[in-house]
Structure 1
Amino acid sequence: MIQESERVDQDEDSENDQERVAYLKAFISRLMTAPMKEKSPAEVDVTVSKEEIRIISNYAAASFGSFSTLMRVDEDCLPVHIVGDLHGHFGDLRRIFGIHGAPGISHYVFLGDYVDRGRQGIETVMLLMAYHCLYPDHLFLCRGNHEDYNTTMTYGFFDECRMKYGKKGTLAWLHIINAFNHLPLAALILDKVLCMHGGISPHIQKLEDIDKIQRPTFIPSYGLACDLVWSDPEKTSNVGWSLSARGISFSFDDITIEKFCQDNGLDLIVRAHQISSEMIRGGHKWHANGRMVTIFSAANYLSMGNDSCVIRIDEQKTMQFCLLRPVKKSPKH
């Protein structure tokens, strides 16, 4: 028999959950329906409050912590859309949802780098966190090298928080950093497609090693967690692993990619983290005879005029590259 005190606790939990869902839906609706700025057609005219940052970041940290470090995405999630770097391109994120369907209808795996360098990192990451908290089985968020205390101090996100909230921006930034420290680091789709922000690592003997990474954590300067967000494929004369030109983690050649896929039963590795001249038109680049692909999803990144690319894997397990062209400024009258 359920005692009266237990029944009251259950009623309170149900009521709290309903309030949480209503809060998240109202927040998402406001951000998704806000107009674009007249003088800057790539930016959305919307503001996120410090209190919204605190509440949603805490919700997100708890939700991220309930997932394995290597998230498993099964066949029920098809079609699934894989999204690369966004770097505060909030308008591009809304365009992606507008074309492919919002979470709750469509499924997504995001590969990290939600903030830094762009003007609307706060809006971008808070919308993603809110959607994840509302539909955790529809929207999977991986960590990038920019979801980190040290990187955001250097490349603009800390400054964005201080610019928008003054001295209290530091606290808003810390709430978001706390959520970042709980983020998973990779996703495995259908046991055949491995997704992460950076790349593979010499510290992986088997994929289950990723699950051994303890969270919450900052991104270390060495080791498996570091490599998953920092390493890069490179065509060099060196065979195997080399120290990265970035000054952190490793680079690896095509032979290493193919061997990694064979050893772990993978068909493909999808990663982000880089944009090159070859990716300006098309937003993606192949490596290792089609065993790895790099995608980038922030259009016109740093005024490069590049396309945004999203990968779609459908119910037949075929892959499509879906492109967004940069937003053009309206002509002056």
Structure 2
Amino acid sequence: MVFLLKIDSLCFNGDYVDRGAWGLETFLLLLAWKVFMPHRVFLLRGNHESKYCTSVYGFEKEVLTKYGDKAFLLPHQRDQKGRRRIVDCVSTPSPSRYLLVLWRNYLKLEDPSMTLGLSPNKERGIGLLWGPDCTEDFLKKFNLKLIIRSHEGPDAREKRSGFGGMDVGYTIDHVVESGKLITVFSAPDYPQFQATEERFKNKGAYIVLEPPNFDNPNFYSFEAITPRPQVNPYYDYVDVIDSDEELDLVAMVTTTPDDEAVLVE
């Protein structure tokens, strides 16, 4: 924990669970860091932090296997003077109509492309690809120099033409007048379970930004610890391919019937 105190802030790009055997432990560790340093640890939500993905790619089964279908009760606590204390609980936020419109219209932008403009994302079966001109427009509009995103592992990048592989854990995808678009992927030797004996044996990576040149990041790659413990997968990795074709957008957010009507208009 000492190293955390030496870091100004930590930002994680989502997709903490699924397609592995230790998603629960990983997520709980990140939550512990967030509680320990709430203003310095930032946990962004990926598409796998959703009801649909966790039910298909293993996290739901992992939680039920490790904890079972149980309910836990947090009783009232008393301090040393006998005064009753109630621990605040975090309620599930109800998304606004504006958030749902954003989810419908803008979060369909799945992956970068070398083709100008927007085009259908045929590999994933859902969403759109955006070209370097879109990256330039976004950077210029918001006066930015750098975009760091994730979402694509070595298996996804293998299917993409015009881009380098995710062998070292990161790629520089767009270099435009206003700045750069970078993809970083921090899971080495991914995916953990594969239907074939061939593995990508990719490195994972993380990025360090330092002042004053935040737009010139430092990249650090690392390998998976071997040998890995022998564990069973929590999803059918043979038949469940890396595709979002049946992605349920409504399941990605907590909605009310009225909000869902906005989502599907």
1:320 corresponds to:
218
Aligned residue among 18, 35, 41 for 1:133: 35
Alignment check: 8 A CA contact 1:230 1:248 kept: no
Could you tell me how far 1:242 is from its partner in structure 2?
2.1
Give 1:294's aligned residue: 183
Q: CA RMSD in A?
A: 3.0
**TM-score (normalised: structure 2):** 0.63
Q: Secondary structure at the match of 2:148?
A: strand
Structure 1: distance between partners of 2:218 and 2:202 = 18
CA separation in 1, counterparts of 2:189 and 2:52? 25
Could you state the TM-score of these two structures normalised by the residue count of structure 1? Answer: 0.51
Change in CA separation of 1:288 and 1:280 when aligned onto 2, cut-off 3 Å: closer
Matches within 5 A, 1:140-289: 140-168=42-70, 215-217=93-95, 223-225=101-103, 227-228=106-107, 231-236=110-115, 239-245=116-122, 246-275=124-153, 276-277=157-158, 278-289=164-175
Gaps of 5+ in 2: 73-88, 159-163, 192-198, 229-265
- CA 1:305–1:230: 2 relative to 1, 3 Å: farther
Secondary structure, in 3 states, of the residue corresponding to 2:68? helix
State the shift of 1:259 in Å. 1.4
C-alpha deviation, 1:132, in angstroms: 0.5
**How many residues are aligned here?**
188
Task: Please give the alpha-carbon distance, in whole angstroms, between the structure 2 residues aligned to 1:327 and 1:108.
Answer: 22
Letter matched to residue 128 of structure 1:
L
Aligned partners of 1:164, 1:130: CA distance in 2, in Å? 19
Q: Which runs of 5+ in 1 are unaligned?
A: 1-31, 33-97, 173-177, 183-214
Q: Which residue of 1 aligns with 2:236?
A: none
Structure 1 residues 309 and 252: CA distance shift in structure 2, 3 A: same
Greater helix proportion: 1
Describe the shift of the 1:141–1:216 C-alpha distance in structure 2 as closer, same or farther (beyond 3 A). farther
What are the superposed Cα offsets for residues 233-278 of structure 1, whole Å, 9 maximum, x if unpaired?
1234xx3122322233321111111111111111011000002243
